[in-house]
Structure 1
Amino acid sequence: MFEIIKSGGWMMLPIVLCSIGAMGIIAERFWSLRRKKIIPPELVAQVWRLSREKKLDDATLRQLRNSSPLGCILAAGLANSHHGRKFMKECIEETGRRVVHDLERFLNTLGTIAAVSPLLGLLGTVFGMIDIFASLLQHGAGNPAVLAGGISVALITTASGLTVAIPSLVFHRYFERLVDEYVVTMEEEALKLVDMLHEDRTS
């Protein structure tokens, strides 16, 4: 493997760095975007129970806010529930935008790696072909094996760039879809809590 990387020339360095960055981001996002961490099960029911028991004090809201992204959204709504349903929903939406921004952390970088890696590979191949033709001008094409070997070396960067770009693109799309699903679910859960609180107050 090291020999292949070495034979690809200096353009392999940024491609290798892109692969390391992509693997790090993918591993981090898999860990950070676990469903039970983003949307803890039964959280809305627990909050509803605490609200009915009048136990939602500042300390409890602070703990809820720091517990999970969904908890942060619910805490924002609960902290402003006394201002009415409309203002409560506005606070939830504003906090939700900040939460989404956090959930999408590093995804832009991963998408950039997916777009740039094949271009780096192509650039490396172009440089390699330039070297091959420069060598042909100086020494001629007396040995086809040398020419074929030079072309194969030049194409290594293209293959490497695509090897990095394809999984990066796949995981970028996967994480974007996952975040979208989480956003819809959190919105539904937050609105459910809003409805429960205000129905209870009007009953």
Structure 2
Amino acid sequence: MLDLMKAGGWLMVPILLCSVVAMAIVIERFWALRRKRIMPDGLVMQIWELQRSDQLDDQRIDQIRQGSALGRMLAAGLVNRFHAREVMKEAIQDTGRHVVSGMERYLSTLGTIAAVTPLLGLLGTVIGMIDVFAVIMDAGVGDPGVLAGGISQALITTAAGLSIAIPALMFHRYFLSRVDKLVVGMEEQALRLIEVMQGEREAADGETP
């Protein structure tokens, strides 16, 4: 591996740094976007039980807000539970935009890495080929082995860039899709909460209170 790094030249350093950053983002996003952490099961039902038992005070709402991303959205609606449906819905939507932004954290960086690393690899190849042609101009083509070695070294950066860009792009698309699915689920839970708190449904999750 060290020999490949040396053969690829100085452009292998930013390519390697991109790989480290990409790996860190992937690990962090896998941990941060766990469904139980973002959208715990039965949260709306728990809120309904608190409301029904007259225990839904500011302290409880703050605990809900701190518990999960979905909890932040629902807490924004609960603060406005005594107002009209549209006011409650607007509060949830405003907070939801911030929540979604947090869920997409670092994904733009991951996408940038997926786009930049092949270009770094290509740049390394171009620089390597320039060096090969410089050798040809100085010494001619009498030693094919030297030329083949130079071309091989020039292509190392392209291979390294692609080997990082391909998985980075795959994970970028995967996490965007995961965020979209979680957002749809949270919107459904938020709508259910509004219906329950506004008296349009008898209980959350279709259960009778």
Map of 1:191 onto structure 2? 191
Provide structure 2 residue ranges, at least 5 long, that are not aligned to the other structure.
Answer: 203-209
- Report the CA distance between 1:3 and its aligned residue: 0.7
SS of match in other structure, 2:40? coil
Would you say the 8 A contact 2:195–2:201 is kept in 1?
no
- Report the CA distance between 1:200 and its aligned residue: 6.1
Tell me how far apart the structure 2 counterparts of residues 66 and 198 of structure 1 sit (CA, whole Å): 23
Amino acid at match of 1:2: L
Report which of the two has the higher share of helix: 1
Amino acid at match of 2:29: R
Greater shift in the superposed pair: 56-65 or 110-119: 56-65
- Report the CA distance between 1:131 and its aligned residue: 0.5
Provide structure 1 residue ranges, at least 5 long, that are not aligned to the other structure.
Answer: none
Count of residues paired in the alignment: 202
User: Does 2:47 correspond to 1:12?
Assistant: no
Give the TM-score of the pair, scaled to structure 2.
0.95
- Report the CA distance between 1:201 and its aligned residue: 9.2
Map of 1:157 onto structure 2? 157
Give the TM-score of the pair, scaled to structure 1.
0.97
- Displaced runs of 4 or more, over 3 A: none
- Report the CA distance between 1:80 and its aligned residue: 0.6
Map of 1:177 onto structure 2? 177
Map of 1:79 onto structure 2? 79
- Report the CA distance between 1:110 and its aligned residue: 0.2
1:46-100 C-alpha deviation (Å, 9 max, x unpaired): 1111111111111111111010000000100000111111100000000000000
Cα RMSD (Å) of the superposition?
1.2
| Mapping for residues 56-71 of structure 1, pairs under 5 Å | 56-71=56-71
Map of 2:141 onto structure 1? 141
1:102-141 C-alpha deviation (Å, 9 max, x unpaired): 0000000000000000000000000000001001101111
Give identity over the alignment, percent.
59
Map of 1:26 onto structure 2? 26
